Amino acid sequence: MQNKTIAYDSKVEGEVIVTQADAVINWIRKHSVWPMPMGLACCAIELMAAGGARFDISRFGMEVMRFSPRQADCMIVAGTVTYKMAEVVRRIYDQMAEPKWVVAMGACASTGGMYRSYATLQGVDRIIPVDVYISGCPPRPEALLDAMIKLQDKIGRERSVKNLFPAQAESAQLAGATKES
C-alpha cells in the first residue's frame, strides 16, 4: 500500500485537506527555490541559457535569480573556483539564510576539472556542503534542470518541522538531560 502524504475526500471532509506539516512545508519550499548564481567560468553561460525561453527554468519555480545572498536559498556554483574566490564563495554561503542548498555545476566546481594547479580549489565541497553535483564540461542546460529536479526531490524528503524551532528543540533536549541526572 502506498503511503499518501496528502489526502482529500469531499464526501467525508467537505472542503478540508488533511496532510502532514512536513509535506506542506516541503511542497512550498521545493516549488519556490530562489537560486543565487555563482558564475565563475564557462559553466555560467550554460546557467544563463537555462533561464532562457528554450529551457525555461521558471517551470520549476526557480526563475527568480537572486544576486543577494539574503534573498537566495540555493547557490549554484558554476565553474572554476580559485583559492582567491573560495573565501568569497564561503562568505556568501554563510550569509544565506537557512534552509540553504548548493549545486556544483560542472567538472571544475565538482573536482577542479582539468586544472591541477596551486591556484585552483579541487572541488567546492572542500569549503561548503554540496547537495547535487552536475557532471560535464560545461554541462548542458538540460543537466542543470535535471539537477534542480533532483534537488526538489531531496527537499521533498526533508524533515522540516523539527528544524523550524531549533533553539526550542535544543533547550528541550537540555531540560530532558537535566531531569535524568
125 found inside a domain? yes
Residues 24 and 54 in one domain: no
Mean of the per-residue pLDDT values of the chain: 81
Which pLDDT score, from 0 to 100, does residue 1 have? 47
Cα–Cα distance list, 8 to 19, 27, 28 (Å): 9, 16, 18
Q: What is the value of pTM for the model shown?
A: 0.76
The answer to whether residue 179 is domain-embedded is no
Report DSSP state, residue 163: G
- Range of the structural domain that residue 125 is part of: 33-158
Are residues 128 and 148 located together in one domain of the fold? yes
Q: Is residue 163's pLDDT more than 70? A: no
Total domains in the fold of the chain: 2
Q: Are residues 68 and 20 in the same domain?
A: no
In the structure, what pLDDT confidence band is assigned to residue 77 with cuts at 50, 70 and 90?
very high
Classify residue 169: in a domain, yes or no.
no
pLDDT at 134: 92
Does residue 164 sit within a domain? Answer: no
Cα distance between residue 72 and residue 67, in whole Å: 8
Specify the CATH number for the domain of residue 90.
Answer: 3.40.50.12280
pLDDT in tens, 142-151: 999 999 999 9
- Report the side by side order of strands in the sheet with 74-78: 35-39, 74-78, 101-105, 132-134
* Model confidence at 139: pLDDT above 80: yes
Torsion of CA 110, 113, 118, 121, to 10 degrees: -10
Kindly indicate the confidence band of residue 181, based on its pLDDT and cuts at 50, 70 and 90.
low
Taking only the tens place, the pLDDT of each residue in 36-50 is 888 888 888 888 888
* Residue 48 and residue 126 in one domain: yes
Write down the pLDDT at residue 10: 56
